[in-house]
Amino acid sequence: MVYRKVPFVSKEYYHLYNRGNSKQLIFLDENDYKHFVKCLYICNTSKNFKFRDHIVEQNIDAFDFDRGETLVSIGAWVLMPNHFHIYITSHMSDMWKNKNNISEFMRKLLTAYTKYFNAKHTRTGGLYEGPFKSTHINNDNQAKYLFSYIHLNPIKLIDSQWKEEGIKNIKAALEHLETYNWSSYHDHHGITRKENKILDLDKFPSYFSDIKDFDSEIISWLQYK
């Protein structure tokens, strides 16, 4: 078990992220992305869970799984070829019990995906570069920056230096975000899809759920850069 120097505290917000071991790819094809996205939803449960037992053998869509009580609330997420980012909060603290909800959710998520990935791609051993990393969100400015940063991440795939040199073509960047399926960009933009169920926006500030505010935040960061 990994013990963190600073415990996760209930009703606080955290940026969680990790990447492949030695920066290796953790998503090799579209089905890999799809499986991780499903795990984001179904691993968010206080129930004991196994993908094969509860989804495959029951022959149900992952997004139809009855999760019961969830462990965490997710406000934003993005998957990139060799890493991921998740914006998260929880109702309970690991200062008061043996298992923290955030840690338990991440254990289920990363274990489930590693088992899938290793079996599919005929490999063994760890997939990630050590334990997942976390940053505590301390103020509203930091929260808005991270909210935008998570959703802007896919721009790296068409403009690898955008953070350092600025975005050369804002129209192309926005068009790319609109066609990139592996983030919560579509969900915040009001597009109806099964992945909407991953988010629990009632537990996040209002700008997370207001489409106009969301658009303005994204545009402002694009223009700022």
pLDDT along the chain (225 residues), means of 10: 67 94 95 97 87 77 88 96 96 61 93 95 93 92 88 92 80 91 93 95 78 68 61
For 146-172, the DSSP string reads HHHHHHHGGGGGT-TTHHHH--S-HHH
pTM across the whole model: 0.90
SS3 of 92, please? coil
In a domain, residue 125? The reply is: yes
Domain count of the fold of the chain:
1
In a domain, residue 193? The reply is: yes
Per-residue pLDDT at 148: 87
In a domain, residue 131? The reply is: yes
Contact by Cβ (8 Å): 74, 196 = no
Residue 171, both tokens: 């129209």
Torsion of CA 195, 201, 204, 207, to 10 degrees: 90
Rounded to whole angstroms, what are the CA distances from 22 to 18, 26, 28, 111? 11, 11, 15, 18
In a domain, residue 112? The reply is: yes
Q: How many whole angstroms separate alpha carbon 182 and alpha carbon 1?
A: 30
DSSP H/E element including 214: helix 211-224
In a domain, residue 3? The reply is: no
In a domain, residue 4? The reply is: no
Q: How many whole angstroms separate alpha carbon 84 and alpha carbon 41?
A: 15
For tokens 């019961």, the residue is: 68
Per-residue pLDDT at 57: 79
In a domain, residue 1? The reply is: no
Which CATH number belongs to the domain containing residue 121 in this structure?
3.30.70.1290
Q: How many whole angstroms separate alpha carbon 137 and alpha carbon 87?
A: 9
In a domain, residue 8? The reply is: no
Per-residue pLDDT at 166: 77
Full residue range of the structural domain in which residue 152 is found: 13-224
Q: How many whole angstroms separate alpha carbon 190 and alpha carbon 209?
A: 9
Per-residue pLDDT at 165: 78
For tokens 């068009």, the residue is: 175
Mutual angle of helices 140-152 and 211-224, in 10-degree steps: 80
Q: In what order do the strands lie in the sheet with 13-19?
A: 73-80, 83-89, 13-19, 133-137
